[in-house]
Structure 1
Amino acid sequence: MRLNVFVLSFALLLVGCSEENNTEPVDQLIPTVLDKAPEVKQHPVEQQKNEKAELASFFPPDGSTAYFQGEGNEFASFTLQTSYIDANYIAQMEDNGAVTILKVYRITDLAIELIYKEAVNTKPILPTAQEAASFPVIETILQKPLKAGNSFNGWTIQSTTASTTTGITVYRDVIKLTRSEGSMTTTKYFVKNIGLIRTEDTMKTNNKEPFVITSTLQKIE
């Protein structure tokens, strides 16, 4: 009887060893499954560069000259020469035939700021980026969020999907800004990769029809 118990115990031991040798570890049988791809967070510096690049796209190319045709005033026609001082500072010379005005803009991650505006000769020396960094803000030209209803310094974004015709060109996804001061309402239109394409100054008068001065982009060279 004791012999039978011994034989039975030995048999069970052999079966247990066999099952242990044929069993794979649990972690080898269950693959790793992710519910979703891991989120890749953008580095703050790269995010800031992208935000500045978006605002910089509202200027014409470096070294270009834009030609505006005016109506309602003899000085409403002008040329606009654009020079990039660096990635954060852009200069433009506006020449309406009577005076040349140098404007310098600072691009931050939130806004385009006018920081310099002076009458100059036809070939002024542009400030360096180090010099421009100390200039105070004169006016905010465009500010995020670029959404209809956003207001800053008296300006209000009326639309970011407007359509505007200049000559034979139809621009879409135009940012339309307005500002009213007294009897005058100024409207500006901006397009990515081009910048300013039209300005309108509408003044209320004693007549039924308002007095309107416009400057409209004709070409960029």
Structure 2
Amino acid sequence: MKRITFVFFLAFILVGCKTQQHEEQQLRHSTSNSPDQHDLAVYFPADGSTAYYQGEGNEFASYTLQTKYIDASSIAQIENNGGVTLLKVYRMTDFAIELVYMEAVDEIPTLASAQEIATLPVIEIILQQPLEVGRRFNGWDIVSTTASMTTEYSTFHDVIELRKKTDNLTTSKYFAKGVGLVQTKDEMLTTNGESVIISSTLQKIE
């Protein structure tokens, strides 16, 4: 009788160990498959860089874009098109790039701390995972994740192409790893049925 009891006790321990090992394996698997919090930061240019965009179709479509990393999950950009200078602050979460601050500034602004940025409300979602064709967020459709684009600066592959349609306006945005925004294009259909295109395309990064 004691031998039978010992056998059942040993079997119970072995089953418990296997169950625990299986749960640990599942946890490791789910952790390894979860998106890295800062993966989306690859869709920004380097810290301290200045990007130059060539505009067409509008005098203010050309602009410069200075990038400053506040910390690993907070990035500020100063956009100057010759008419207005905008300070934009972005926050990286597990699944999205969030625009949380946008104001016109007259000079080099004082940037908020990472702690302050963490409390700001979301103004707009810029990119959202999963980055898959057919996905939609805030009216933006992901129409390609493998696009190629050649600019004066370089040729880019695996470009993320976003598109949004509202009434007579179609806006497209193109993002590439390591540089961020490559091009923005607005195509407007006038009341006469004519198409007007305004674009800003990455020219160089210093």
- TM-score category of the 2 structures, normalised to the smaller one: 0.7 to 0.9
CA–CA separation in structure 2 for the residues paired with 1:43 and 1:170: 35
Partner of 1:165: 150
User: Out of 95, 99, 116, which is 1:110 matched to?
Assistant: 95
**Residues 47, 149 of structure 1: CA spacing in aligned structure 2 closer, same or farther, 3 A cutoff?**
closer
Match of 2:58 among 73, 76, 82: 73
Residues 137-195 of structure 1 show CA distances to partners (whole Å, capped at 9, x for unaligned) of 00000001100110000001000001112126221110000111221111000001110
**Preserved contact between residue 55 and residue 199 of structure 2 (Cα < 8 Å):** yes
Q: 1:200 aligns with which of 185, 199, 204?
A: 185
Task: Please give the secondary structure, in 2, of the residue aligned with 1:56.
Answer: helix
Aligned counterparts of 2:153 and 2:118: Cα–Cα separation in 1: 40
1:147 lines up with 2:148 in the alignment: no
Q: Distance in 2 between matches of 1:188 and 1:195?
A: 10
Structure 1 match to 2:122:
137
Q: Could you tell me how far apart the structure 2 residues matched to 1:207 and 1:167 are?
A: 33
Q: Which sections of structure 1, spanning at least 5 residues, go unmatched? A: 1-37
Cα pair distance change 1:98/1:51, threshold 3 Å: same
Task: Give identity over the alignment, percent.
Answer: 57
For 1:71, the aligned partner's letter is E
What is the TM-score when the length of structure 1 is the normalising length?
Answer: 0.78
Q: 1:47 offset after TM fit, Å?
A: 6.7
* 2:153 and 2:204 in contact (8 A); partners too: no
CA contact (8 A) 2:38 2:73 kept: no
Residue deviations 1:110-137 (CA, integer Å, cap 9, x gap): 0000000000122100000111111100
Mapped to 1, the partners of 2:192 and 2:152 lie a distance apart of 29
Q: CA, structure 1 residues 126+98, in 2 after alignment: closer, same or farther (shift >3 Å)?
A: same
Alignment partners' CA distance in 1, 2:29 and 2:86: 40
Q: TM-score, normalised by structure 2?
A: 0.83
Q: Give the structure 2 partner of residue 4 of structure 1.
A: none
Segments of structure 2 that go 5 or more residues without pairing to the other structure are 1-23
**Cα distance between partner residues in 2 of 1:135 and 1:206:** 40
Between Structure 1 and Structure 2, how many residues are aligned? Answer: 182
Q: Secondary structure at the match of 2:162?
A: strand
Cα-Cα RMSD: 1.9
